[in-house]
Structure 1
């Protein structure tokens, strides 16, 4: 699962956490190939090619989890994304954080309503945004 790829996400910077996630995506792409991953995941081959070649194209949480779902022993991408969002919500609950507190902790990088909509899955979330939110929440927790 995405939220289980790093043992102590709160100890890393958001960029370091994002880099770890991208490394995992690259390993899946390297193992299965751009074309096969694109076909199975529905992610644009150009995005996958960029990731594989070391670029960092913008990729959504859903696209990321679709890639992580490629190995045979992995759950489907929707389940991985739902569990990642649930982990954000549980982290906020355990740390007694509301969306306004998260907004404040992020220095206004994301607005409270935007955070809530993304965590609930009503608006798309990028992998960078997930790393930013998850690192902050786990750092407070």
Structure 2
């Protein structure tokens, strides 16, 4: 799952989270093969190949979930995205955070309304945006 990579990090900064997300995706590509990931995720070959080779192509959370879902040990992409959103919303509740606070503490260009829309799934969120949002939520002092 995407959101669980934070559990493996001592410092869940946005850059560390994005690197961890990409490492998790690369491990799936290595395990099942580039062609299988391309076929089953329906993401362009050049973007999957770039990721496999260590680059950081722009991917959405939905695309990342599609890559993870290629692994037979992982739930389907929709379940991964829903669990991710639940994790973010629960983290906001537990930390008593609102979208205004999150937007004020991230280094990506999102307004509070855009943060809310991304978390609720009304708009796509990139892995970079997810990393920034999750780093604030998971790193907030409770």
* Equivalenced residues, count: 141
Is contact 2:6–2:12 with CA below 8 Å preserved after alignment?
no
In the alignment, which residue of structure 1 is the partner of 2:89? 89
Q: 1:108 to 1:129 in 2, by over 3 A?
A: closer
If the length of structure 2 is used for normalisation, what is the TM-score? 0.92
In the alignment, which residue of structure 1 is the partner of 2:111? 111
Runs of 4+ in 1 over 3 A off after TM superposition: none
How many Å separate the matches in 2 of 1:51 and 1:18? 12
DSSP 3-state at the match of 2:7: coil
Return 5+ residue gaps in structure 1 as ranges: none
How many Å separate the matches in 1 of 2:58 and 2:136? 20
Tell me the alpha carbon deviations over residues 77-113 of structure 1, each in whole angstroms, 9 at most, x when there is no partner: 1110111011111111111111111111226732101
In the alignment, which residue of structure 1 is the partner of 2:39? 39
Higher RCO by CA contacts (8 Å cutoff, separation 6 or greater): 1
Return 5+ residue gaps in structure 2 as ranges: none
Q: 1:108 to 1:22 in 2, by over 3 A?
A: closer
> Is 1:139 equivalent to 2:115 in the alignment?
no
If the length of structure 1 is used for normalisation, what is the TM-score? 0.93
Q: 1:20 to 1:98 in 2, by over 3 A?
A: same
How many Å separate the matches in 2 of 1:29 and 1:107? 29
